[in-house]
A and B are shown apart, each in its own frame.
Chain A
């Protein structure tokens, strides 16, 4: 595979990171869910977030496209601060962006959810066409031809005119991936994309993810599939109790864990 574990091949002068997270905190009421996370993802890198449930993986992911608003810290995508102006105001406060500006930032980040969240009242084709037509203002004919191409890419050309309720879970998730790709995102976020699937359907979705990674898509994947992490990830990030405990290439993180918590976690999932 062309994409296999080519970490840190870039020279000292690196490109702008695809994602740069600095000192990220998030509280829900009095529960401190993220307690200072730093993470950098290079363009074309595949980062896999693993960790026990409640460790903050999904919250971290959802802070990247502002589905959750961070309590402290900063998220930059391709060098651009998300949700706020680049510079603080004269009094030290940060100017929030408008709903429209935030929507525009989100439109450049694809996201795939555990429970697919396809639009049930639209066919697979119209699910994929929806955002290009109504957010980007693309011509319907062009959006349709691009949508059919994307559905073919995820192996569902034949299912374009089916409603989500007529598709299996694996097929629905592949449509959801096509729907996110239709916006031509700079990076893709996956929130446990295979957790709601029957075991025999997991492989077809992971194959699409692997294909995307091979094409050089920047990806952040929350998953429990350690086999996938080992094979496709450039970086495995282990989180526990709202903190990033270890991160590095899969060979290092999965095969020679340093912390006891990671050792315990791996013993329970492998």
Chain B
């Protein structure tokens, strides 16, 4: 292209693909081959062990993997996981916002909650919630020292299942609160400033601007915590709640005197649920990452810019202020 006179119109630029790519042969990579051989040998040894060791008893695994009690246990475990994560998330968001508050009372309450629930074992907390109906058998709403307006027995409402959900949720909330706090802090301060300049109230700024952006940072550890929670639900026998997956498989194992195959049944189910949770996490990450990723497609039918093509290759550090004409 001539640069001495007026530049030719863009139509004269070389068309994409108008070159012969380099015909290259890969450089030798002995390390890859050595690693492959070692791993292949280990896999053969593992398969041999899995197939020939009689203690594993695959027949029993096959019999019980779809046992009614086991499948119901999977259902209860999933329900416990989801509900306690919902409880934990709501509490954590409140606690994280309270810790950012100007109000010293709210800050103190949030601090104390995190201190207590993060500082004691979840097992202890579950035992406590299991005994809740013994400690507080009746809740009375009325005038202090005056007449009772409404009273009900906690035993009717606070079943073992809800004790487990509340116990797991409150414990989880304390951990999540710290994750949420760092997520909220990760949002550029200029964002709330720009929102304030538009006349938005602090509550509106949190809800519409800060939290949606913080979620991008929060979701990956939140997914991690959810998978952790799936396995923590096996502690609910402390309440005692006895319908979850671990308790169900243990019960069968104790009856048959064959612990190993039933452990494999439980492990396979936990792995299956984890896989499903990972898919959910992937979709959440994609949703909250919208607008942040140069790979996010633009409006349909628009041409991808040169800069976004360079960025999406992932080989060049991204300029935070891309200055290019589309």
Interfacial residues, chain A to chain B (CB-CB below 8 A): 65, 67, 99-100, 103-104, 106-111, 113, 115, 117-123, 130-131, 134-135, 158-171, 176, 179-180, 183, 196-198, 201
Taking Cβ atoms with an 8 Å cutoff, the residues of B that contact A are: 188, 190-191, 193-194, 196-202, 204, 208-209, 212-213, 216, 288, 290-294, 296, 298-299, 302, 305, 307-308, 321-326
CB–CB B199/A117 < 8 A: no
Q: How far is A165 from B196 in the complex, measured between Cα atoms in Å?
A: 22
- Checking A99, A119, A171 against B209 with a beta-carbon cut-off of 8 angstroms, the contacting residue is A119
Report B-chain residues with C-beta under 8 Å of the C-beta of A179.
198
- The reply to whether A201 and B291 contact each other, CB–CB distance below 8 Å, is no
In the complex, are the beta carbons of A121 and B199 less than 8 A apart? Answer: no
Is B296 a contact partner of A103 (Cβ separation < 8 A)? no
* Inter-chain contact A103/B323, CB cutoff 8 Å: no
Q: Report the tally of A-B residue pairs with Cβ distances under 8 A.
A: 111
Contact of B196 among A67, A122, A161, A197 (CB under 8 A): A67
Q: Which residues of B contact A118 (CB under 8 A)?
A: 194
Closest residue of B by beta carbon distance from A109: B197
Interface contact B200-A103, CB-CB below 8 Å? yes
- How far is B229's CA from A69's CA once the two chains are assembled, in angstroms? 46
A198 contact from B193, B194, B198, B323, Cβ within 8 A:
B323
Give the distance to chain A from B295, nearest Cβ to Cβ, in Å: 10
Q: A113-B190, A134-B208 are in contact. List 7 more A-B contacts (CB 8 A).
A: A111-B197, A130-B208, A131-B199, A161-B299, A164-B291, A169-B322, A183-B198
Establish whether residues A196 and B196, one from each chain, have CB atoms under 8 Å apart when the complex forms.
no
Given that A113-B190, A120-B291, A121-B292 are known contacts, is A196 also in contact with B202, CB under 8 Å in the complex?
no
The contact of B198 among A100, A158, A167, A180, by CB within 8 Å, is A180
What would be 18 A-B contacts, judged by CB atoms less than 8 Å apart?
Answer: A104-B199, A113-B190, A113-B193, A113-B197, A115-B190, A117-B193, A120-B291, A120-B292, A159-B326, A161-B298, A163-B290, A165-B294, A165-B322, A168-B322, A168-B323, A169-B321, A169-B323, A179-B198
Q: Are B204 and A135 in contact (CB under 8 A)?
A: yes
Contact residue among B202, B288, B291, B302 (Cβ-Cβ distance under 8 Å from A99):
B202
- Interface contact A103-B196, CB-CB below 8 Å: yes
The answer to whether A107 and B199 touch (CB under 8 A), given A162-B298, A166-B308, is yes
Bound CA–CA A158/B305 (angstroms): 14
Known contacts A163-B296, A165-B292, A166-B298; A121 and B212 CB within 8 A of each other: yes
A47 to B40, CA, bound (A): 75
- Tell me whether B326 and A117 are in contact (CB under 8 A): no
Taken together as a complex, chains A and B put the C-alpha atoms of A99 and B102 apart, in Å, by: 13
Query: Closest A-chain residue to B201, C-beta based?
Result: A103
A106 touches B196 (CB 8 A): yes
Nearest residue (CB) in A for B192 is A117
Contacts of B196 in A (CB 8 A): 67, 103, 106
CB A80 to nearest CB in B, in angstroms, measures 15
Interface centre among A103, A106, A110, A176 (most CB of B within 10 A): A103
Q: How far is the CA of A234 from the CA of B199 in the complex (A)?
A: 28
Contact flag A65-B197 (CB < 8 Å), given A134-B204, A167-B326, A201-B323:
yes
B124 → chain A closest CB, angstroms: 40
| 4 shortest interchain CB distances as A-B pairs | A107-B199, A117-B194, A198-B323, A163-B291
Cross-chain contact of B324 among A163, A168, A196 (Cβ < 8 A): A168
B220 shortest CB reach to chain A, Å: 16
> Which one of A130, A134, A165 lies within 8 Å of B293 (CB-CB)?
A165
Q: Chain A residues with Cβ under 8 A from B194's Cβ?
A: 111, 113, 117-119, 176
How close is B26's CB to chain A, nearest CB, in angstroms?
35
Collect the chain B residues with CB atoms within 8 Å of residue A180's CB.
197-198
B323–A120 CB distance below 8 A: no
The listed residue with most A CB atoms (<10 A of its CB), out of B188, B191, B291, B296, is B291
**Complex contacts, B326 vs chain A, CB 8 Å:** 159, 166-168, 171
Contacts of B204 in A (CB 8 A): 134-135
Residues of chain A within 8 A of B190, CB atoms compared: 113, 115, 117
